[in-house]
């Protein structure tokens, strides 16, 4: 027979065990669904221009290959980062103001056309309204103008605009699909930017606009 004190301890232990609450099963956690909104430009771009943007890598590859086959390899090297497909840097948004611009056209569907054409410089203007950047080519026979949109890729902006031939005023993107222009805007150096237009409607494979701030002229 157990001593009295051991019997009392056993009773107390049993009483303590009996009073412990039964643990509740954990509540099931609600599934977390993350909905990613497409960038604003993706809602406005037409399917043909979206396809051009999606095939940018192919445009770079074919355009540079055409130019090198046409013996323009040295000209490509002289342009440095401007014609390097992988040269995009962080912080692509340009400061508003006047820019000196020039156009290089690469590749051609028609073998009678030169695969590398560099045009004389012209003036561009980067504006801003309601926190929306815009680019306007101010001189020349073909003047693209449009807006820059933020993208999922922080190292680039998307350009949606139109061409203004002759003395015509630029149209809003989508008003006339035959004049629409879609491209990518990137920074490739200190105060050096480029607007890349893949598969333009003129038969080239790539157009690259260089933008550098215009020198300040003294009055």
Calpha distance 163→180 (Å, rounded): 7
Angle at CA of residue 150, ends 148 and 153, nearest 5°: 125
Q: What is the pLDDT of residues 10-65, one digit of tens each?
A: 444 444 444 555 666 666 565 555 556 788 899 989 999 999 999 999 999 999 99
User: Which domains can be identified in the chain, with CATH numbers?
Assistant: 45-213 (2.40.128)
Q: What is the pLDDT of residues 181-207, one digit of tens each?
A: 999 999 999 999 999 999 998 889 999
- pTM of the full predicted structure? 0.81
Look at residue 83 in the predicted model and tell me its pLDDT: 98
| Burial zone of 105 (CB within 10 Å; 0-12 exposed, 13-18 middle, 19+ buried) | buried
Nearest C-alpha neighbor of 180 from the set 60, 94, 53, 82: 53
213 φ/ψ angles, rounded to the nearest 5 degrees: -55, 135
User: Could you say which DSSP state residue 88 is in?
Assistant: -
Q: What is the pLDDT of residues 66-93, one digit of tens each?
A: 999 999 999 999 999 999 999 999 999 9
Indicate if the pLDDT at residue 138 is higher than 70: yes
Indicate if the pLDDT at residue 9 is higher than 50: no
Distances (CA, A) of 54 to 60, 78, 116: 12, 28, 23
Angle at CA of residue 147, ends 86 and 128, nearest 5°: 110
Report how far Cα 177 is from the mean position of its chain's Cα atoms. Answer: 21
């Amino acid at each position: 027979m157990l001593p009295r004190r051991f019997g009392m301890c056993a009773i107390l232990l049993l009483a303590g065990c009996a009073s412990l609450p039964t643990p509740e099963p954990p509540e099931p956690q609600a599934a977390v669904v993350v909905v990613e909104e497409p960038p604003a430009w993706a809602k406005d771009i037409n399917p043909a221009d979206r396809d051009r943007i999606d095939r940018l890598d192919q445009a770079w590859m074919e355009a540079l290959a055409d130019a090198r086959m046409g013996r323009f390899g040295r000209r490509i090297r002289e342009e440095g980062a401007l014609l390097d497909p992988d040269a995009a840097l962080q912080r692509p948004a340009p400061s508003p103001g006047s820019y000196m611009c020039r156009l290089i056209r690469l590749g051609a569907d028609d073998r009678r056309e030169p695969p590398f054409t560099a045009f004389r410089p012209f003036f561009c203007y980067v504006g801003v309204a309601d926190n929306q950047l815009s680019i306007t080519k101010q001189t020349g026979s073909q003047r693209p103008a449009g807006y820059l949109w933020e993208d999922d890729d922080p190292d680039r902006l998307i350009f949606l605009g139109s061409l203004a031939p002759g003395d015509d005023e630029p149209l809003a993107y989508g008003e006339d699909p035959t004049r629409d222009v879609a491209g990518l805007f990137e920074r490739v150096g200190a105060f050096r930017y480029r607007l890349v237009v893949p598969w333009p409607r003129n038969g080239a494979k790539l157009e690259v606009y260089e933008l550098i701030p215009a020198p300040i002229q003294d009055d």
